[in-house]
Structure 1
Amino acid sequence: MSQSFRHPEILDMARRDGKVTVEGLAEHFGVTLQTIRRDLSELAESGRLERVHGGAVLPSGTSNIGYEERRLLNSDAKAEIARACAARIPNGISLFLNIGTSTEAVARELLGHTDLMVATNNMNVANILVANPDCEVLVTGGSLRRSDGGLIGALATETIRQFKFDIAVIGCSALDQEGDILDFDIQEVGVSRAVLRQARQTMLVADHSKFKRSAPARIASLAELDLFLTDAPLPGRLDEACRGWKTELVVAGPDRAQRG
């Protein structure tokens, strides 16, 4: 069976079951795992599926995929972005890291930094930075979201308002073609907005998969940020828009040049 016949059936199976796996599809179609991985990559590139560890799911516009799946999704790209981000963070500053697997990757790259004060509403970030004895870790209050260790709500926002951070690093769930930074949880969006208001310098870390996704709640525009770190060229005219906004763009990766 050619891929032109497999693709519609793969999409039908994803709609029916919520997720498809590489092994399950290979057995179903009687083809190799490599063939199915190529099919899923092509469907993901066209925006019809979203790759997760071991398979794919339908892209979601109203709810996020599971946190463990997100942690594995594009993990190499997130690590490259995190390294580029950490290189922009000097020692001896105050920093905020919000909820997300990309900001967790940044936290891992900060284990060698010294004299940091890091505030976060992400329990996973706090647990990572415990391993750095030269880092003071402050955790906001708030309601614990068990699915991802996030602290959200009015108490988290009020805690953030007591500080003025040198740098804030945020992640997001989606980025649209107009440059709007999007997320799924309105309470989390409120916390992210507060963080951006309370920082002298603001950075967004987001891999290329966020270009193909949608989410209903708006955090801010790229025009309001100082630096955007990603792993692929921006779609459409967003690159040109960033230059007009004076938002610095860094495309991270082993073979990619950083540029403004």
Structure 2
Amino acid sequence: MGRDTRHEAIIHLISKMREVSVQYLVERFGVSEATIRKDLTFLEEMGYLVRTHGGAILAEDRNQEVPLPQRESRNLEEKLAIVARAREFIHEGDTIFIDSGSTCRLLAREVRDMTIRVICHSLGVYEELKAAPNLSLFGLGGSYRKDAESFIGPIAVDNLKYFQIQTCFIGAASFNEKGIFAAQNIIEAQLKSEVLAASQRRIILADHTKYNTFGFSVFARPGDFDILITDRGFQGRDTLTALGIEVVMA
């Protein structure tokens, strides 16, 4: 196994297990302890993990680690308003990207009757759209993260090069008055950032409860996206508009 393949495998393991030991990785990959330590050092420098005594843990904000099924029932009325507004930005024949997360899954449910192409990395989005009769569905692949029900990592990022995206819809774990949007961990943030860079029109979906909460891994700042769609409970519209961000209230 080459170094890059091993790095991808380590990312997959740590995204699934949250914590791994050097000894476990040595036995898993049949390489020396020195090699594994070099791998972990490299992946820490890339932001994927944090070294610990004898191993590593996933670099993420554990304060936001809430299982997806629990998140889906929170602020449901606001999320439904957001996705109804988001649908207005989608037209028949479009090619769009739908991110992972509870709001994005609701958006997938909203577009099932459309004749469009959807690129996704979320199992939940796939489940919503797999039987849609007139819709073409494309998956990015990658390492599966069970609690987020999504595929992430270098494979997912690399596969973006095969698509031209007209409009992307990205979820956020948090955002603040400086127009900084964040994800739960660096692996998710990297994919979101790459999708934004690959898309012609870039839309972030976030309800008001995400505002001015701490975010661990930044994926967007003002200028990195075009529109924020949020609900009418959001109190920071003037603040973000002053930064040049178009805020659409749902």
TM-score (normalizing by structure 2) = 0.72
- Which residue of 1 is the match for residue 22 of structure 2? none
Find the aligned partners of 2:92 and 2:227 in 1 and give their Cα distance.
18
| Counterpart-to-counterpart distance in 2, 1:78 and 1:184 | 19
Aligned pairs (5 A) from 1:55-204: 62-114=63-115, 116-204=116-204
- Aligned partner letter, 2:79: K
Give the C-alpha shift of residue 178 in structure 1. Answer: 0.8
Aligned to 1:168, the other structure's residue is in SS state: strand
Deviations 1:107-160 (A, max 9, x none): 11101211x110001011011012321110001110000112110100000011
Q: Is the 8 A contact 2:207 2:234 kept in 1?
A: no
Aligned-partner Cα distance in 2 for 1:223–1:234: 20
Q: Mind listing any 5+ residue stretches in structure 2 that lack a counterpart?
A: 1-60
Query: 2 CA distance for matches of 1:81 and 1:63?
Result: 21
User: What secondary structure does 1:182 align onto?
Assistant: strand
Does the 8 Å CA contact 1:167/1:200 hold for their aligned counterparts? yes
Kept in 2: contact 1:174–1:183 (CA 8 A): yes
- SS of equivalent to 1:224: coil
SS of 2:196's equivalent in the other structure is helix
SS in 2 for 1:107: helix
Determine which structure has greater relative contact order: mean sequence separation of CA pairs < 8 Å that are 6+ residues apart, divided by chain length. 2
1:212 Cα deviation after fit? 4.2
Report the number of matched residues: 190
Unaligned runs of 5+ in 1: 1-59, 253-260
Instruction: Tell me what 2:246 maps to.
Output: 248
* Aligned sequence identity (%): 24
For residue 64 of structure 1, report the CA deviation from its aligned partner.
2.3
Deviations along 1:80-123, one digit per CA (max 9) or x if unpaired, are: 10010011111101111111111111111101211x11000101
TM-score by length of 1: 0.69
Q: For residue 170 of structure 1, give the secondary structure of its aligned residue in structure 2.
A: strand
Answer yes or no: is the 8 Å Cα contact 1:229–1:251 preserved in 2: yes
Query: How large is the Cα RMSD of the aligned pairs?
Result: 1.7
- Secondary structure at 2:144 match in 1: strand
